[in-house]
Each structure stands twice: as structure tokens, then as C-alpha cells.
Amino acid sequence: MRLITNLLFPQPSSCALCERKAAQGLLCRLCQQDIEMIDGQHCERCGRPHEGLCDDCVGRPETFFVMNRSAVRYNEKMKEVMSLYKFRGQETLAPLLADLLIPAFTRYYSSLAVQAITFVPIHEQRLKERGFNQAQQLAFLLSLKTKVPVINLLERNRMTEKQSKQHRSERLHRLEHAFSLRPNPPSLGNVLLVDDVYTTGSTVNECARALAKAGMKVYSLTVAR
């Protein structure tokens, strides 16, 4: 795994986020310390640090996914990482994110018979701007490690605003039916949906709505939460 990702994404010797020397991975020790793993109690549905079901999960009118789990908290440091990766196109950060995602997969889903890994699609126009789909890249790296095949199952029906610019209620509403199943999907049972960040859960839920229509059971895994 390390070898392949090194070939795909050569690793620089200084920290990806600051001027200091990188430790073992892509970050220096200090930046690494700012990444907070999610462990301990979490909402059984969405994986947020919480005891029992959280308010978001209780209040969601319909839930189409079985559960979401996330590796780390979406704190300031992770926001910085994601913004460099997604909006500044720093693709060398992909293995760092995969290194967070893979242990979370092992921890939560290794005993689940996952038949396929799929990912949240981005709109064609955004794909052109960015040059890559971060969720697809992460799904691919996870697949290299787990040997579970990646299948591109979903398409995005319309362009949605950057989520951070919207209020929660708008966001929930605008994503409704934003995704659909690509033509002729294979018949699948347990499917793992990969994305970079879980915020309100509306993206995961809307993707799951489309997948569940075809009888799939959707489990979700994101880097940050």
C-alpha cells in the first residue's frame, strides 16, 4: 500500500501544512497532534461523539443509511487539510487522509461483508474545476488496501451550493433527490459509501436514498465528522 501510494503521490520531506520537517507521514509532529481521533462513545447512527442517538439522527424525517462512522473530528486543523486538498488541489494529501480512513474501516467494518465501495459523486462542472473527486480518490485508496472493489454507482443530478454557505434547513432541503443511481447497477447487498466529511448527514442520506431504492444496505465512512 505504502509503495503504491508513494508512486502515485510522492511524499515531500517538509510538513504539508507548515514549514517544519515532516515526521513519519506527511505532517510534522505538531500538526499531527492537532488531529483528533474519534474514539469512545458515539452516536450509534452517525458516529458523532455522543451517547446514544444524537438530536440530528432523532430529528431526521427518514434515514436511509444503516450507519456512518468517521475517523477524526472536523476541527480547525482538519478544515485546513481539507481545504488544501479540495480547493487548492493539493492531491499529495490524499494518502494522509487514506491513512486516517483505513484504520476506521478496520475498526468499524472489517467484520461486515462489504460487497462494494462507492463514493459521493461531485457535479461534472466541479470535477472540471477541481480535476478530481476527493471521495472517489479516497474510495480508490481504501479499495487498494481492502481489496473490496470500487463501483461508481451514483450520479449527481444538479449542482448544489457549497454546503458551508447555506443554513442547515436550506441544505437539508436542497440536497433532496440530488443523487440518482447510474443505469444498470449490479445487484448488491452491503455497500460502503465513502466521503471526505460528514456534516449534517444530508449528503450521505440522499446518496443512501438512491442506493436503498436498488435494495442496497448502505454503510458510510468519512474521514472527518
| Residues within the interface to Zn ion (CB under 5 A) | 15, 17-18, 20, 28, 31, 43, 45-46, 54, 57
58 vs 159 by CB, closer to Zn ion: 58
- Measured distance CA(160)–CA(174) in Å, rounded: 7
Q: Which is nearer to Zn ion, 96 or 151 (CB)?
A: 96
Instruction: For the CB of residue 199, give the shortest distance to Zn ion in the complex, in Å.
Output: 12
Smallest distance, Zn ion to C-beta of residue 109, A: 17
Q: Which residues contact 147 (CB under 8 A, 6 or more apart)?
A: none
**Cβ partners under 8 Å of residue 210, min gap 6:** 154, 179, 180, 181
Nearer to Zn ion, 33 or 125 (CB): 33
Contact residues for 84 (Cβ-Cβ < 8 A; gap 6+): 16, 17, 90, 93
> What residues does 220 pair with on adjacent strands?
68, 193
Nearer CB in complex with Zn ion: 50/123? 50
Q: Integer distance in angstroms from the first to the last C-alpha of the chain?
A: 25
* Minimum CB distance to Zn ion, residue 195 (Å): 16
Burial class (CB within 10 angstroms; exposed 0-12, middle 13-18, buried 19+) of 132: middle
Taking the complex as a whole, how short is the minimal distance between the CB of residue 44 and Zn ion, in angstroms?
8
Q: How far is the CB of 19 from Zn ion (least distance, A)?
A: 8
Query: d(Cα 43, Cα 144) in Å, to the nearest integer?
Result: 29
Which run of H or E residues covers position 70?
strand 65-72
CB of 30 to Zn ion, least distance (A): 6
Q: At 78, list the grid cell.
A: 482538519
> Which CB sits closer to Zn ion, 188 or 224?
224
Nearer to Zn ion, 25 or 127 (CB): 25
Are residues 97 and 85 in contact, defined by beta-carbon separation less than 8 angstroms?
yes
